[in-house]
Structure 1
Amino acid sequence: MRKLFITYCLFITGIIGIHNVGISKPHVLNVTDSNTDSEVVEPFDVYPNPATDYVFVKFDEHIANDASIEVRSFIGNKMTVESELQSTDLIKLNIADIPAGHYYIVITIDGASSLKKFVKHK
């Protein structure tokens, strides 16, 4: 029996003083051992981590074709990266053009999402 895991990423925004400035910081909540029957996003790995030019997303099963992938900055901004399907369980992301820093890869399949952190070096 496979252990159920769900990762939620909440982006909370607010207003500072009289200026309408949005602040967004991801808050991660992991839920395990739930009694739900719903389908969950399959686990995946991100490597190398840290990375400079490319990051690979490796799925435990052959579901790469069904996955929606986003790269988000630490504060939640969506980054523009090119992705290339390597096989049914492997996707290559070109991160060469994004600044060095901490990022999240957000995978969504059938409305369920999961995320992993990675570090981009120059």
Structure 2
Amino acid sequence: MPYGTVSNVVRIHTHEDYSDEYVGYGMQVDYLTDAYVFYKQGINYPIYTFTSFTSSSGSTMYSSYLDQSYVGISEQGTIEGFSLYPNPATDFVMAEFESDAADLATINITDLSGKLISSTNTTIESAGMQSIRLDVSNLESGLYIVSINIDNKTAFVKLNVQ
């Protein structure tokens, strides 16, 4: 990649070999295609593709890569098991997540336009499953995004307030 090496990817190789016959023209065209597509966990699009296409009339090779801002050379960690219940909620919601160690957690609630509605900081005393009660009684009905950040690891969950 032009911006460095991306590790821990999955490569998928497809190979096609076929012919078309043009009826009435007495002409057959043979095709050969090899495509390599590279995926990285957590990214919904191929980070790199390479295709070689050969036919009786010539050949073409092309490739493309996903912009660096989508791939991330230094990967951010994730927070395991982040969930909210009850969801939909009316008065409160419990945020559950796994913590690797004692640390400070920041939980933000934003509306769908990205406006910060509330922010809660809480100290995690020890590693393991955590459960934090969040008051949502003052929120208008609608959809929100709840994010949690611990030690530069972030996770997001959609919240429906009724």
* Alpha-carbon distance in structure 2 between the residues aligned to 1:82 and 1:112: 16
Q: What is the identity, as a one-letter code, of the residue corresponding to 2:43?
A: V
CA contact (8 A) 2:143 2:161 kept: yes
* Deviation string, structure 1 residues 52-107 (Cα, Å, up to 9, x no partner): 0101111134668521110000111111366778x861111101001110001111
- Partner in structure 2 of residue 15 of structure 1: none
Q: Distance in 1 between matches of 2:149 and 2:107?
A: 7
- TM-score, structure 2 normalization: 0.46
Of 100, 107, 122, the match for 1:69: 107
Match of 1:9 in 2: none
Over the aligned positions, Cα root-mean-square deviation in angstroms equals: 3.3
| Aligned equivalent of 2:136, options 89, 92, 95 | 95
Counterpart residue identity of residue 118, structure 2: T
Larger radius of gyration: 2
**Quick one: structure 1 residues 83 and 108, their matched pair in 2 at CA, closer, same or farther if it must change by over 3 Å?**
closer
Mapping for residues 97-112 of structure 1, pairs under 5 Å: 97-112=138-153
Residue matched to 1:31: 43
Q: Is the 8 A contact 2:109 2:119 kept in 1?
A: yes
Is the contact between residue 106 and residue 115 of structure 1 (CA under 8 Å) also seen in structure 2?
Answer: yes
1:1-122 equivalent positions in 2, closer than 5 A? 30-31=42-43, 40-43=77-80, 44-61=82-99, 65-80=103-118, 89-121=130-162
Question: What secondary structure is seen at the aligned counterpart in 1 of 2:156?
Answer: strand
Q: CA deviation at 1:50?
A: 0.2
Q: Which stretches in structure 2 are left out of the alignment for 5+ residues?
A: 1-41, 45-70
In the TM superposition, structure 1's runs of 4+ consecutive aligned residues that sit over 6 Å from their partners are 81-85
Considering fraction of residues, name the structure with more strand: 2
Give the whole-Å Cα distance in 2 for the aligned partners of 1:98 and 1:81: 13
Of structures 1 and 2, the one scoring higher in RCO (CA 8 A, sep 6+) is 1
**SS of residue in 2 equivalent to 1:66:** strand
Contact 1:49/1:119 (8 A) holds in 2: yes
Aligned-residue sequence identity (percent) comes to 25
The AA in structure 2 aligned to 1:41 is T
